């Protein structure tokens, strides 16, 4: 079926006339929860965060689940991906360039320090400063004063008073408020700047949950959160806290929820795809989510740059039978990719020029590989794909490898790492020997978020150092577009550049496949596949 979604957001449709974000969006998850024990702790799965829990340096899923639980930003996202005001009372602009942010009174951090305009402005300046090397620094590159190469203050940020600050963007962005629920835009208390590394190990936030005292974070094992009694935002918990357990395998987590030792699991292992819905019935979910899966080939590897590399990337892509793998391995819980975003994001299209490179075409794959060999023979080099064993990826990696071997006749293998953090370490230090699994879960519901963090020159999650002036230019033009149609066209054109260069080889879009024990109720999974923890009740 041909599908194309062409709207970004109702907010993005407004151009110059009195842009404003005030009040809260309605949501289908606002129904009153069923009765439960308000002091009961809900246990759920997670993974060891890559870095200490500093919001501007937390860009992966394991840390993100925790950071969004212990911090509250200007806005948050409901289950449908709509924004709701949190600390912000209003976010207004007449021209989409100059924004005035007004805060609600009464917000405090869990150390009793008031949340003020400076709490946001200082945190954003810290995150943007070049020498602080924050992985989410590029989220501030649209604010006047940002610089990728030297320390530079965000001069576009001005504190007016304790509850008001202004933001000047480098160019108009009608949908700028959409991104403000992401962790990079969370506030920080003044105590954080005394010792940021120590703060990251024991962060003080202003969100619905907080760390359960000293020793709450047991590295490589779990983190314990309790409710924040001072929190009065739109995510008020109906439970007593969260125990987020870090599992080495998804099978182990699934066994725990089967045995009643885990309340909520948001990632069913592939070994259970055929049985989990029958076993858990109404306590299971299989719904579309803003998750893209692929694998990247670093440009620093021999044979994978220039014309030779472009030919090999296309050959590898066309040698993968995505339809068969999603049917056999994933039992219909994945959809073969036609772009670099997600079907649940407005602006998605499966009609991009060049998308045929994502179709299974073994004859063309062999031809392209032979052309690459004419430039420089691949010889007996082994092609490998790195993946983290704790993420349940072995089955599909093996299937992709088999598809490549059967098509191209080369030596290929999977390369497992014990944890996600270990896999990221080799990516960030340019130590890969081949391809690497590269998934993306949306930070906020926008096409831009699936493109800029991963492929923009110098972006924090652009670990394989892809760079393209044409792509960067189209991305910037899309961000500054005054209409939803213009923005969508630019982002789609930018993806057509990616389809030629293939810095990432798209594989499929993921559904969220979750289950929960009969000890909990009111379990809802959000647009980004993360459970709405605060509304889960427990007996």
| Closest by Cα among 312, 305, 257, 310 to 285 | 257
Asked whether residue 486 falls in the same domain as residue 526, the answer is no
What domain range includes position 414?
Answer: 288-512
Residue 26 has pLDDT above 50, yes or no: no
What does the pLDDT look like over 423-476, one tens digit per residue? 888 998 999 999 999 989 888 888 999 999 899 998 878 999 999 999 999 998
End-to-end alpha-carbon separation of the chain, Å?
44
Question: CA-to-CA distance for 80 and 344, rounded, in angstroms?
Answer: 10
Asked whether residue 294 falls in the same domain as residue 341, the answer is yes
Q: How many domains does the chain have?
A: 2
Beta bridge partners of 218: 222
The CATH number that applies at residue 434 is 3.10.105.10
* pLDDT (0 to 100) of residue 473: 96
Asked whether residue 481 falls in the same domain as residue 534, the answer is no
Q: Is 274 within a domain?
A: no
Asked whether residue 304 falls in the same domain as residue 440, the answer is yes
Q: Is 401 within a domain?
A: yes
Residue 22 has pLDDT above 80, yes or no: no
Residue 133: partners with Cβ closer than 8 Å, 6 or more residues away: none
Instruction: Label residue 392 by pLDDT band (50, 70, 90).
Output: confident
Q: Is 381 within a domain?
A: yes
Beta bridge partners of 88: 103
* Percentage of residues of the chain with pLDDT beyond 70: 94
Asked whether residue 229 falls in the same domain as residue 304, the answer is no
Q: Are 55 and 71 in contact (CB under 8 A)?
A: yes
Is pTM, for the whole model, over 0.85?
Answer: no
Instruction: Label residue 174 by pLDDT band (50, 70, 90).
Output: confident
Structure tokens at 161: 């008073």
Most confident option among 25-34, 388-397, 499-508: 499-508
Strands (E), 169-326: 209-211, 217-218, 222-227, 241-246, 264-265, 284-296
Instruction: Label residue 33 by pLDDT band (50, 70, 90).
Output: low
Q: Is 390 within a domain?
A: yes
Average pLDDT of the segment spanning 163-191: 93
* pLDDT (0 to 100) of residue 444: 86
Asked whether residue 104 falls in the same domain as residue 244, the answer is yes
By the 10 Å C-beta count (0-12 exposed, 13-18 middle, 19+ buried), 306 is classed as exposed
Least confident of 242-251, 281-290, 456-465: 456-465
Asked whether residue 226 falls in the same domain as residue 370, the answer is no
Q: Residue 415: phi, psi to the nearest 5? A: -125, 95
Q: What is the CA radius of gyration of the chain?
A: 23
Question: CA-to-CA distance for 300 and 466, rounded, in angstroms?
Answer: 10
* Percentage of residues of the chain with pLDDT beyond 90: 78
Beta bridge partners of 378: none
Q: Is 264 within a domain?
A: no
Residue 11 has pLDDT above 70, yes or no: no
Asked whether residue 229 falls in the same domain as residue 298, the answer is no
Asked whether residue 189 falls in the same domain as residue 101, the answer is yes
What does the pLDDT look like over 108-125, one tens digit per residue? 999 999 999 999 999 999
* pLDDT (0 to 100) of residue 259: 96
The mean pLDDT value of the chain amounts to: 91
Average pLDDT of the segment spanning 214-227: 96
* pLDDT (0 to 100) of residue 373: 97
Asked whether residue 85 falls in the same domain as residue 228, the answer is yes
Instruction: Label residue 316 by pLDDT band (50, 70, 90).
Output: very high
Asked whether residue 74 falls in the same domain as residue 122, the answer is yes
Asked whether residue 30 falls in the same domain as residue 140, the answer is yes
In this structure, how many other beta carbons lie within 10 angstroms of the beta carbon of residue 198?
12
């Amino acid at each position: 079926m041909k599908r194309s979604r062409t709207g970004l957001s109702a907010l993005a449709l407004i151009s110059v006339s009195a842009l404003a974000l005030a009040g809260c969006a309605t949501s289908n998850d606002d129904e009153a929860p069923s009765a439960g024990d308000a002091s009961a702790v809900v246990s759920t799965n997670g993974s060891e965060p890559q870095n200490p829990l500093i919001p501007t340096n937390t860009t992966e899923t394991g840390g993100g689940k925790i950071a969004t639980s212990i911090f509250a930003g200007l806005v948050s996202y409901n289950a449908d991906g709509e924004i709701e005001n949190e600390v912000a009372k209003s976010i207004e602009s007449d021209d989409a360039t100059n924004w005035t942010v007004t805060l609600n009174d009464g917000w405090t951090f869990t150390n009793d320090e008031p949340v003020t305009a400076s709490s946001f402005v200082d945190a954003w300046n810290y995150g943007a400063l070049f020498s602080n090397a924050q992985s989410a620094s590029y989220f501030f590159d649209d604010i006047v004063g940002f610089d990728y190469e030297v320390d530079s203050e965000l001069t576009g940020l001005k504190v007016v008073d304790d509850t008001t600050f202004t933001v000047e963007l480098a160019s108009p962005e009608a949908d700028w408020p959409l991104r403000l629920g992401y962790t990079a835009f969370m506030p920080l208390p003044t105590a954080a700047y005394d010792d940021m590394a120590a703060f990251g190990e024991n962060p003080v936030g202003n969100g619905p949950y907080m760390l359960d005292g000293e020793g709450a974070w047991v590295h490589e094992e779990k983190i314990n959160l309790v409710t924040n009694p001072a929190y009065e935002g739109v995510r008020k918990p109906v439970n007593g806290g969260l125990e987020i357990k870090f599992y080495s395998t998804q099978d182990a987590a699934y066994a725990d929820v089967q045995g009643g030792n885990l309340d909520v699991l948001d990632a069913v292992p592939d070994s259970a795809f055929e049985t989990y819905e029958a076993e858990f019935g109404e306590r299971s979910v299989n719904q579309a989510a803003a998750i893209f899966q692929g694998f990247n080939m670093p440009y620093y590897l021999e044979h994978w740059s220039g014309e030779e590399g472009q030919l090999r990337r296309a050959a590898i892509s066309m040698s993968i039978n995505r339809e068969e793998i999603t049917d056999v391995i994933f039992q219909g819980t994945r959809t073969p990719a036609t772009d670099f975003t997600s079907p649940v994001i407005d602006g998605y299209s499966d009609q991009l020029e060049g998308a045929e490179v994502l179709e299974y075409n073994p004859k063309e794959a062999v031809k392209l590989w032979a052309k690459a060999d004419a430039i420089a023979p691949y010889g007996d080099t082994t092609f490998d794909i790195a993946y983290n064993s704790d993420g349940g990826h072995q089955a599909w990696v093996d299937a992709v490898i088999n598809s490549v071997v059967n098509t191209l006749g080369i030596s290929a293998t999977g390369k497992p790492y014990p944890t996600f953090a270990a896999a990221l370490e080799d990516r960030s230090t340019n130590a890969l020997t081949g391809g690497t699994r590269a998934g993306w879960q949306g930070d906020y519901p926008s096409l831009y978020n699936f493109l800029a963090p991963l492929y923009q020159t110098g972006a924090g999650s652009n670990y394989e150092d892809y760079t393209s002036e044409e792509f960067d230019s189209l991305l910037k033009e899309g961000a500054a577009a005054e209409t939803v149609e213009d923005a969508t066209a630019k982002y789609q054109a930018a993806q057509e550049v990616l389809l030629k260069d293939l810095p990432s080889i798209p594989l499929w879009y993921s559904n969220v496949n979750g289950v929960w024990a009969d000890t909990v109720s009111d379990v809802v999974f959000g647009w980004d596949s993360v459970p709405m923890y605060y509304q889960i009740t427990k007996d």
